[in-house]
Structure 1
Amino acid sequence: MRDLTELDGVRDLLAAVLEALDIPYPATVGDRETHDRILNDRVVQAKIALRSALEEHPLGIEWTTQYLREQLAELPPTGYQHYAAKGAGAGR
């Protein structure tokens, strides 16, 4: 069985990947372009992290997870009206 610390690291990486992909849906057709651009940029970062974790000589799960989270912080899901926030006026 693998070390529990390693499994926790994998779980943290998977949580970060989910965070990258699970952004609010756009509230309007007009907001779709911004949403799709942000989502695409976040998908690219998630793919880079997964590839890094699966390499023969990875940088380490913890480092990869931290790097992904730093990249996601630079790509917040803002600038468009979110579906859940349509009535509240949030998301812009």
Structure 2
Amino acid sequence: MTNRIPDGPVRERLAAVLEALDIPDPATVGDTETHREILAERAMHAAIPLRNVLDHGGHPLGIEWITQYLCERLAENQSTGYRHWGERP
């Protein structure tokens, strides 16, 4: 038995949510506020389509459209502008 979620809309949605929330940790205390602001913005964009699916049974344009919408919002709100762990000087 496998616990792997099969390829398809559900997996795509979960991957998009993970991408929204899994941004690098700030490297210094001075980068914490920027990191927090970026993460809050990305979390809001992830919550909107999830709310549509979970509370309202989906979106009239379908789960593929919602996943694309989320990916576009993430592209507009990059996780840049702060130093993070693993970043090369």
Q: CA RMSD in A?
A: 1.2
> Where in structure 2 are there 5+ consecutive unaligned residues?
1-6
Distance 1:62 1:79 in 2: 30
> Residue type of the partner of 1:30?
G
Which gives a bigger RCO, structure 1 or 2 (Cα 8 Å, sep 6+)?
2
Query: How many equivalent residue pairs?
Result: 81
Q: 1:42 to 1:57 in 2, by over 3 A?
A: closer
The percentage of aligned residue pairs carrying the same residue is 57
Secondary structure of 1:26's partner?
coil
Distance 1:47 1:58 in 2: 14
Distance 2:27 2:81 in 1: 12
> Aligned-pair distance for 1:56?
3.1
Report the TM-score when normalising by structure 1.
0.83
> Residue type of the partner of 1:84?
G
Distance 2:70 2:58 in 1: 18
Please identify, of 34-43 and 48-57, the stretch whose mean Cα deviation from structure 2 is larger.
48-57
Q: 1:57 to 1:43 in 2, by over 3 A?
A: closer
> Where in structure 1 are there 5+ consecutive unaligned residues?
1-6
Alignment of 1:1-80 (within 5 A): 8-54=8-54, 55-59=56-60, 60-80=62-82
Distance 2:11 2:74 in 1: 17
> Aligned-pair distance for 1:83?
1.1
> Residue type of the partner of 1:41?
E
Report the TM-score when normalising by structure 2.
0.85
